[in-house]
């Protein structure tokens, strides 16, 4: 997994999108779906992956299939 992947993380009543290694989220969203949509669009542009911490799945931006959780 690339070290600059995007992470979707539940934060209280909202959802945040983080780029791995950053000290601040890229955005905060009302719904999980909205956060995932923004994260996936950015990941597609940068050729990296999205990790959804609620589902524990890695989403491949090329084929958009859910893969089993990976060991960090």
- Which DSSP letter does residue 23 get? S
Please state, in angstroms and rounded to a whole number, the distance separating the CA atoms of residues 68 and 53: 12
pLDDT tens, 34-54? 999 999 999 999 999 998 776
Instruction: Confirm whether 14 is domain-assigned.
Output: yes
Instruction: Confirm whether 21 is domain-assigned.
Output: yes
Instruction: Confirm whether 24 is domain-assigned.
Output: yes
Q: For 35-55, b where at least 16 C-beta lie within 10 A, e where not — what string?
A: bbebbbebbeeeebbbbbeee
Instruction: Confirm whether 1 is domain-assigned.
Output: no
Domain count, the chain: 1
More confident residue, 13 or 53: 13
Whole-number pLDDT of residue 36: 92
pLDDT higher than threshold 60 for residue 20: yes
Instruction: Confirm whether 72 is domain-assigned.
Output: no
Instruction: Confirm whether 19 is domain-assigned.
Output: yes
Instruction: Confirm whether 16 is domain-assigned.
Output: yes
More confident residue, 27 or 65: 27
What global pTM score does this model have? 0.69
Report whether 15 contacts 31 (CB < 8 A): yes
| Residue-range definition of the domain harbouring residue 56 | 6-67
């Amino acid at each position: 997994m690339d070290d600059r992947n995007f992470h979707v993380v539940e934060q209280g009543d909202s959802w945040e999108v983080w780029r791995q290694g950053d000290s601040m989220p890229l955005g905060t969203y009302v719904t999980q779906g909205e956060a995932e949509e923004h994260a996936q669009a950015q990941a597609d542009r940068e050729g990296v992956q999205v990790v959804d911490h609620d589902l524990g799945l890695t989403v491949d931006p090329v084929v958009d299939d859910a893969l089993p959780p990976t060991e960090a």
